[in-house]
Structure formats: C-alpha cells, structure tokens
Structure 1
Amino acid sequence: MGSQEVSTVDWQGKHVTVAGLGVSGIPAARALHERGAVVTVVNDGDDERARAQAAELEALGITVRLGDGATLPPSTELVVTAPGWQPDKPLFLAAAEAGVDIWGDVELAWRLRGTNGRKAAPWLAVTGTNGKTTTVRMLASILQAAGLRTAAVGNIGVSLLDAVLGEQEYDVLAVELSSYQLHWAPSLRAHSAAVLNLAPDHLDWHGSMEAYAADKGRIYEGNTVACVYNATDPATEDLVREADVEEGCRAIGFTLGTPGPSQLGVVDGILVDRAFVANRQKQAQELAEVSDVNPPAPHNIANALAAAALARAFGVEPAAVRDGLRTFRPDAHRIEHVADIAEVAYVDDSKATNTHATEASLAAYDSIVWIAGGLAKGATFDELVTGAAKRLRGVVLMGADRALIHEALTRHAPEVPVVDLDRTDTGAMSEAVEQAARLARPGDTVLLAPACASMDMFTNYIKRGEAFADAVRERAEKSA
C-alpha cells in the first residue's frame, strides 16, 4: 500500500478480537464497533478497573472476556492487539494457525486514516532505543513553527486512533513508534522515518537482538522521501540498506561531526544541512546554533538533527527548524536541571532506564557523582562503566540490582568511591542525594541516571525522578 493510499476494509459484520483493555484497546474496540464490526475484547486481568472498563464497552454492545486472554474466540477474522502483548502468547499462536491476521493499534490507525472524510495526513515516523519522545516532540515543534497543523502522536501524547479519526485535520503527523508497535504494523508506509540508534533492549519480548533490530527496521519499509539514519551507528544504516522503499527515496545521515553530502551535522557550533540543498557536494545550509537546542547535551543535539532531517524532508524551511528548536522544552526527568547547590549541579535523568540512555547522559558532563541502580532487566554494565570511568567523582548505588553495577565498578573503576545503600524503600532517595552531596566538589554534577528500571522501588521512572527532585529541593532549602 503506497504512502498516500487509503485502505478500504468492509468492517460490517467482521468478527474482530481486540487483545487487551487499556489506552489502545478501548479506542480500538470503540472504533471498530462504530464501523459495524462484531467486537470481542479479551483481557488477561480481571480486577476492579478492568471490570469498570468492561462495563462501559458492554453497554455499547461489545463483548468482553476478562481473565482469559489466551483463547481465540470462535469466528475471529482479525486480531487487533495492544502493543505490549508478546508475540508468543497462545492467542497469537492460535490466530496464526487459523490464518487470522494480527494487527497492532498502529496498523489499525494506518488502515483507518482518511476513512472519516478527512485528508489522510502523511506520517513522519521515529523509532530507536533512546531519544524517540524528545525527537518527536522536537519535530512537532519545528513543524508547528513552519505553520503546519500537526501533533506528536503514537507512543506519546495523542493516541494515533484519536489523531486519524478525530475532528482535527492535520497536515502531517509526528509519530513515535516502539519496536512493539512496529512488530504488529505490516502495511505502515511513512513519508519519511528515522531510526535514532540501536542497542539491546526488550530482548525478552523480541527473543533476540536480530529480531529487535528487524522490527525497528520496519519503520523504513515503503518510505517515499527519506530514510534518516545515525551515521555513527552502522546498525541503523544497515536497516536502511535492507529496506524496500519507494523509488527516489534517499538515505539521509545525521552526525555530531562535520556532515558529508546527504547528511546533517555540526560545524563550529552550527547545525548544518548538506542533504536538502541544491548542491550537496559544495553547499551547506545553516539551520540553527547548538545553543538553540535545550539542553545542548550531545545526544540531544543528535535528536535535534534527526528531527531537523525529517522536517527538511517534508519541505520545512531552515528558519522554522531554528524557531522550533528554540521553543522546544524537554519533558520532565530527561536531563532536567533541578538546582545548583554550593556550586554543584543536580540533574534528573530518571528516564535513563537502560545502559544506552545512561551512556549518553554520562557523556554530557565532565565530572559526575552518579546515582544509579534499580531493576537491571538482564543488562550488563561493564561497557558503560569503562566508558564513563574517567568522568566519575563518585557513585551512589541503590535498588535491587545495584550489586551488578558495583561489580562492574570494582572491575573497571576501582579507584572511584562507591556508596552502596542497602535499602529499597522510597526514602532511600533522600539518603542517596545526601551521600552524593558529600562526594561532590564545586563544578561537579550529581546525576540521577539509573541505567535500570524503577519498579523495584517506585511506581515508574516519573515517581523516581520526582523523589530525586524533592530530595534536592529539600536540601536546597536547608542550604539557603
């Protein structure tokens, strides 16, 4: 299906099973029901919240089966799944055996776009192990600065179904896509797309690094204008080479160094474009200054270049790139400066839940007291510690799998002082900040970049970041 074509599916009387209640399942069930499909929702959980959600759907005439997400309902002609459900679930194995297609929420949104009488807006899509949300929000800011009607959608912000079926008409959508979502989106064809980086993550879901990379690479399939890749991450360029794209689609690289032809990069503190100019061999177009990027950490500049590449692929003028980056403000808990106390900066990057994100975070500062630990999700830390050792003033460890990081520090940075907090209660964060402050010297940065998930101690990374920020502000008040 080409990028501008709109799918025509006759939903009337079609038996569709929706797998999973929640942020994607409920809108999918409603949308399909409204189009005349016979919808059955199956859900593993059977708690109070699920029962309340089920009651709302059942009032519309939708069948809901709670506590039984494993069995394929009879007569099912299509399964639409929430992105988090693993591919080896019995429901999906039964569907595959019966020859029943399985779509994710992204695939359904792609198929339904343009069916409500409104123009089907092209998608500029972003994936990668880290930086997706920031890049998509930067991209939306740039598109808005260009006067385009747009929204940051997909894995963030507005749901894709709401975006394609709502009353608001868009010129273009900035779409964040996870590897889960791409796995279940076989016919997605973006205008242009970017893979920011690739590092081991979610391997328990995908089964292998190769399968994870292959799902990320689906974002390039059928691109019409540009496949944007990370020039310093060869795996992303390999995915471009393997993709089946529309004739004339170009490979566009981004780099923190001087860009070659068909690349965006940085020259003397200026973000420059050697891809979307008349003479790529000899010309470079200034887009913005590094100081226009907030914050101007290396990985965030890379995010800005990727966003700029997608915007330029859509025909956005250089001034809009600059203006969009200037007005962009990052989400909380992503390299968020909390306070300066006694000439020490305190920075919250609780969103750094894996080693790849933490590596980028640590690279942004020269002298660091690092607060880390939590649930390792099968990660190893030797490479991370080796790369960061020279920057570490000290380390404070907390959480269930902190010993794994401690062992890596012992092997690769034995001279770095380590405080090991043998507690996993939420109050441990206050002590972690206290211990970090003792280790820090003027000019240092106390950095919360855990390299681990948060659920051993906190509801999510947001709560962890809030605990850190609260502890820092409390210390600031005492120091005032």
Structure 2
Amino acid sequence: MTATRVELQGRQVTVAGLGVSGIPAAKVLRDLGADVTVVNDGDDERARAQAAELEALGIRVRLGDGATLPEGTELIVTTPGWRPDKPLFAAAAEAGVPVWGDVELAWRLRGPDAAPWLAVTGTNGKTTTVQMLASILRAAGLRTAAVGNIGVSLLDVVLGDEPYDVLAVELSSYQLHWAPSIRAHSAAILNIAPDHLDWHGSMEAYAADKGRIYEGNQVACVYNVADPATEALVREADVEEGARAIGFTLGSPRPSEFGVVDGILLDRAFVEDRQMNAQELAEVSDVNPPVPHNIANALAAAALARAFGVPPAAVRDGLRAFTPDAHRIAHVATVNDVAYVDDSKATNTHAAEASLAAYEPIVWIAGGLAKGATFDDLVTGVAKRLRGVVLIGAERALIREALARHAPEVPVVDLDRTDTGAMAAAVAAAAGLAQPGDTVLLAPACASMDMFANYNVRGDAFAQAVRDLPTAT
C-alpha cells in the first residue's frame, strides 16, 4: 500500500461533480477509507438516482449546491469539466485545501511497481494517436492499454489486478490542469490551437495546461515541428536530466526528428549516429487512412514507442493492425464517382482544417455550435479546395459570413434547419453540387449538440443519408 492510500484513510474528501469520473472517484475514495461527500450543481432525476446509489454505500451527496465548501473538507477531487473559476475552488484556495483531478488521484494511487505512462495531449488527434501507440506496443509484445480521456478510467487501471508493462495515456487540457504531479516516461503534444477557451480563460492558460504533460519527462518530449507552440512548451518544461526533445514532421527529418522521405516513415532520433543515419519504420501506406494529419499522428505514436525501446518492425506491424474509430476520416461510400467522407469528429476549426487539407475538390458540409470560434482563417486557407459548401446548425451564419468575405465565388447552400432530418437534406444538396471525382466531406468545425446527441450520432446520420442515395457503391 502506498503512503497516499494510507493518508486517505479517515480524511474528509469532497468530490466535485457526479458523472463519468466523479462517481468512480467517490467509490474508490470510500473503499480506501475516506469520509466522502459529493457535491453537484444539478438536481435532476438522473442526479437523484446517482445520489441514491452513492448514499447506499455510505457516501454523502449534496445536490443543487456545488459552490459551498463542505465543512471540514481536507481535499477536493474534481471531475475534469469543473472550471477553475468555480466558487468552490476559490473557497478551497482560501482555506488551503488542495484540489486534485481524477488523473492526479490515479497517479498518486499507483503501486510501487506501476507501469510507466506514455502520455499524449493536443487540440486534435489525441485518441487516434493513443490508439496507434497502444497497437504498436502490443505488436512489440508488451502488455498495455489505451486509457485516460479515451474513455477508460485510469483509476480502474491503476487499482486493478491486471499487470501492465506500459500505459498509453490520453490526457485532455482539463485533466492536465488538475494533475500537477504526473511525471510521464515520455509525452507528446500533437498541436495547439484555440479550443475550450471559455474553460481556460485564455489561449495562454490553455497552452500552459497542455504543457504540463512535459513536466518531469524521463526520456522524450515529443513535439510537432510544424507547430512552434509545442516546441516552445518543451523549452519551458522542467524535465529529468537526459530527457530529449524529439520532433516529428511530414517533411524530411533532421537529427532527433521523425519524418517522411519518399513515402517512408523514418526515425533519426533513436538510432546510432543520428547525424548520418535514419531507421526505416513503415510506409505511408501502412497508415490508415494515409492523410497528412493522420501520418503526423503515426509519427508521434512511433516516436513515443521508440522512446520506450520498441523495435522498428513493431511500429510497422502496429500501424498496419490499427483501425481508426468511427467518424474520423471514414470513407462511407462512392456514389456516381463522388466520394463521401465522414469526419464528424472534426468539432473545431483546427480539426476541420486538417481534414479539408486531405482532399480536393471538396463539397464541404459544416456548421453546428461554434464554441466561440471564428472561421476567417479556416476559410481563407481552404477556399481554393472548395467546390461548394452546405451549411447546417445553429451558428452556421458565422461560417456563411466568413465564406462571403473570403470565398465569395464558392456556391453555398444554407439550410435553415436544426432538426436531425436536416442531414439527409444536406447530403442531397451536397450531391447536387458535387462533380465526378469530388469528395463530399462532413467536417463540421463545430460541436453537434444543437442538432444531435453527440458527434457519433451526427456521423451516423450522415452515413445513413449517403447510403440512402441511389447507386451507392
């Protein structure tokens, strides 16, 4: 038993928030002997059912009041979604009460022989890269799991009985904000672009939270050569002596970089005499799908795996074995020589830009909840690729106005609908704009909740609409 587990016995711990991470954290803390109170802003039927489940285990639950610090609180464990400016945290700071996220709790509860973490963050591409990394590690014969923000609880993993050699860990900016102690074996930041600024308060704060992933790295800090902000975060990090900065690029790699030459993924970092030599790892065709931003994901995963000592053949075999999740650059069908591609996961402008860069010419289906984003830079960058645009969703006017300013010659169909049936109309309109050889691309650059439960449902609606088109092949 670690010291932290002993220290939790009898302590009064407040868990901030019910839900995916709050309920498991409360149960773990209770099992470790803590005196647990859960506070939650909401007081609806679902919250009351969750509260009843926890109260049956001896855990106090306070619904409808997440602002007041319960008397006697010695530690707060918060769910990732709770913003730092919540009154509860201000009260905790005034009282000198520490605040941990569920990832911080998991890190502190690791056993003495715990598996090292290979960690990944970034505005886009985290889940795909972590899954690629796990596939490569398995191909090397290592016991591993893809965990963290990917949907698999780190608490369950570190407290479970199954032994692991290494963990592939996805971490969001929210999780990193509340996890000051984690120290990864190696870590990667894939990219930094404006997102979740309402939560973090500023771009600088958002980037700083992403940069926490490099703190204390033991072997490698992997950064994106094409994104100078990621390299700047490496330079600012306090790492263990000997830890190296390792870049990845879609171009020819320099020493201490991973890159691509003549369709071959190369390692010029973990080789003898990296000034003169490079190690072939895989072919671009081994990456699924082999579009530019996904090749970058593969290079980042390869860099982390190689930092852990994985042999080159395992990188190739792991990439070949990897199958991406649904709604990520997924080819749905070809209809009348027009390709239909579902990238519903492109929920912000940075992700949409990467998706749009993979095809030409494009009929773009876009729109939804903008989350405070602006679209001028995105439209300016992709205008020459656009055959036409179909707009859906509550805040589609923001994209329409950017198109009018920067791509006035591009035909636009503005569907004044936010019902779920609008997707079938959008696909039909896109089919009317497309010409043989074009790609109809769903890359909304917006969140989905104005029309759909989530991006998965949105992507499913797109795929079904495509399948309902005549002569699908």
Same fold (TM over 0.5): yes
- 1:417 maps to what in 2? 411
Q: 2:239 aligns with which of 233, 237, 245?
A: 245
- 1:85 maps to what in 2? 82
**CA shift at 1:306, angstroms?**
0.2
Give, in whole Å, the separation in 2 of the partners of 1:358 and 1:65. Answer: 41
- 1:97 maps to what in 2? 94
Give, in whole Å, the separation in 2 of the partners of 1:376 and 1:160. Answer: 30
Asked whether 1:336 is paired with 2:333, we answer: no
Give, in whole Å, the separation in 1 of the partners of 2:23 and 2:419. Answer: 35
**CA shift at 1:57, angstroms?**
1.3
* 1:185-224 aligned within 5 A: 185-224=179-218
- 2:355 maps to what in 1? 361
For this pair of structures, how many residues does the alignment match? 472
Q: 1:324 aligns with which of 303, 318, 341?
A: 318
Give, in whole Å, the separation in 2 of the partners of 1:137 and 1:45. Answer: 34
**CA shift at 1:365, angstroms?**
0.3
Q: Secondary structure at the match of 1:156?
A: coil
**CA shift at 1:256, angstroms?**
0.1
- Shifted more, 256-265 versus 163-172: the winner is 163-172
Q: Could you tell me the TM-score, scaled by structure 1's length?
A: 0.97
Q: 2:378 aligns with which of 375, 384, 398?
A: 384
Q: 2:458 aligns with which of 442, 461, 464?
A: 464
Q: 2:428 aligns with which of 415, 434, 437?
A: 434
Query: Which one-letter code corresponds to 1:112 in the other structure?
Result: L
Query: Which one-letter code corresponds to 2:24 in the other structure?
Result: P
Percent identical among aligned pairs is: 82
Cα deviation 1:358-410 (Å, max 9, x = unaligned): 00000000110000011111111111111111110110011111111111111
Runs of 4+, deviation exceeding 4 Å: 5-9
- Stretches of structure 2 that go unaligned for 5 or more consecutive residues are none
Q: Is the 8 A contact 2:145 2:167 kept in 1?
A: yes
Distance 1:248 1:6, change over 3 A: farther
**CA shift at 1:9, angstroms?**
4.9
Cα deviation 1:100-131 (Å, max 9, x = unaligned): 0000000000000117xxx3110000000000
Q: Secondary structure at the match of 1:228?
A: strand
Cα deviation 1:268-322 (Å, max 9, x = unaligned): 0000000000111001000000000000010000000000000000000000000
- 1:145 maps to what in 2? 139
Q: 2:438 aligns with which of 418, 436, 444?
A: 444
- 1:11 maps to what in 2? 8
Give, in whole Å, the separation in 2 of the partners of 1:6 and 1:364. Answer: 50
Q: 1:166 aligns with which of 160, 163, 172?
A: 160
Give, in whole Å, the separation in 2 of the partners of 1:205 and 1:292. Answer: 38
**CA shift at 1:6, angstroms?**
7.9
- Shifted more, 299-308 versus 417-426: the winner is 417-426
Give, in whole Å, the separation in 2 of the partners of 1:81 and 1:274. Answer: 41
Asked whether 1:23 is paired with 2:17, we answer: no
Asked whether 1:133 is paired with 2:130, we answer: no
Q: Is the 8 A contact 2:334 2:472 kept in 1?
A: no
Give, in whole Å, the separation in 2 of the partners of 1:21 and 1:437. Answer: 44
Give, in whole Å, the separation in 2 of the partners of 1:45 and 1:127. Answer: 30
Query: Which one-letter code corresponds to 1:59 in the other structure?
Result: A
- Shifted more, 342-351 versus 51-60: the winner is 51-60
Give, in whole Å, the separation in 2 of the partners of 1:33 and 1:310. Answer: 36
Q: Is the 8 A contact 1:6 1:113 kept in 2?
A: no
* 1:174-185 aligned within 5 A: 174-185=168-179
The alignment's C-alpha RMSD in Å is 1.1
Query: Which one-letter code corresponds to 1:78 in the other structure?
Result: L
